[in-house]
Amino acid sequence: MLTAEIKDRFLQQYPMLRELPDEDQAEMLATASLMHVPAGTVLFDEEQSCKGFPLLLSGNIRVIKASPHGRELQLYRVIPGESCILTSSCLLGDTPYHARGIAEQDIEMVVLPASAFHTLLDKHDTFRGYVFHLFSDRLTDLMQLVSAVAFQKLDQRLAILLINKPGPIHATHQALADELGSAREIVSRLLKGFAEQGWVKLGREQIEITDTAALRKFAAL
């Protein structure tokens, strides 16, 4: 059972649920439960099937593929307002996961039982539209990612990654490598190159972009 405050934040974050008829909304809220998950938790993993439909309130989920040699590659990130489409995929396709989901920060999420999820999907276009959109976006993301991994050089991918991170970047080289699916040393090496070009300033767990324009030009090349 959710508190009034959580309900508010929940509906704030997922506006399409506000459009449900009152009784359906109430029913949905009645079956939902709130979960707290500490940062670092593995929320799901390969070959593991799923229980409910999670809707994020706060915190991100990193969805990754791990290689047998200990490297990893981030497929995408789930942010509040987005829900994890992989779960939907599981619930709808009855297939197990094929990736690992890790809580990047502490997470608050509302979990709908599978039955409620199906009911919403059957009865309400807006919810359906929302889920389809998520699928659609993920497909697009993944196609983009495949293309990047297959055809782009690492330095460009790194540049793009940096550009798309907001503000002063706080991350270890290892973390960046894990996002790119590469090794820490390579990232260090490339960053050093960027620094020598005067594009970034490096510090411990910190990267400051000093010449966005140049970096962007390099990335777009």
Write out the residues near DNA by the rule CB under 7 A.
Answer: 69, 71, 153-155, 172-174, 181-186, 188-192, 202, 204-206
Specify the residue, 28 or 200, whose C-beta has the smaller distance to DNA: 200
Residue 89 found at the interface with a second copy (CB under 8 A):
yes
Residue 93 interacting partner from DNA, a second copy, none (CB closer than 5 to 8 Å by kind): a second copy
CB of 204 to DNA, least distance (A): 5
CB of 197 to DNA, least distance (A): 14
Specify the residue, 70 or 166, whose C-beta has the smaller distance to DNA: 70
- Residue span binding a second copy (CB under 8 A) among the ranges 27-35, 54-62, 108-116, 146-154: 146-154
Residue 73 found at the interface with a second copy (CB under 8 A):
yes
Give, rounded to a whole angstrom, the gap between the first and last alpha carbons of the chain.
52
Number of shown-chain residues binding a second copy (CB under 8 A): 40
Residue 202 interacting partner from DNA, a second copy, none (CB closer than 5 to 8 Å by kind): DNA
Residue 147 found at the interface with a second copy (CB under 8 A):
yes
Q: Residue holding tokens 């990193």?
A: 62
Residue 135 interacting partner from DNA, a second copy, none (CB closer than 5 to 8 Å by kind): a second copy
Residue 186 found at the interface with a second copy (CB under 8 A):
no
What is d(CA 168, CA 85) in angstroms, rounded to the nearest whole number? 29
Specify the residue, 2 or 163, whose C-beta has the smaller distance to DNA: 163
CB of 159 to DNA, least distance (A): 11
206-209 and 42-44 beta bridge pairing:
unpaired
Asked if residues 108 and 57 have their Cβ atoms less than 8 Å apart, the reply is: yes
Asked if residues 127 and 120 have their Cβ atoms less than 8 Å apart, the reply is: yes
Packing angle of the helix pair 125-151, 114-123 (nearest 10 deg): 110
CA separation (Å) from 15 to 1, 59, 184? 20, 18, 40
Torsion of CA 204, 207, 208, 209, to 10 degrees: 150
Helix (H/G/I), strand (E/B), else coil: 118: helix
CB of 186 to DNA, least distance (A): 4
- What are the strands of the beta sheet with 42-44, ordered from one edge? 42-44, 100-103, 61-66, 72-78
Tokens read off for 117: 């999820």
Bridge partners (DSSP) listed for residue 77: 62
Return residues touching a second copy (CB under 8 A): 65, 67-69, 71, 73, 75, 85-86, 88-90, 92-93, 95, 98-99, 121-122, 125, 128-129, 132-133, 135-140, 142-147, 149-151, 181
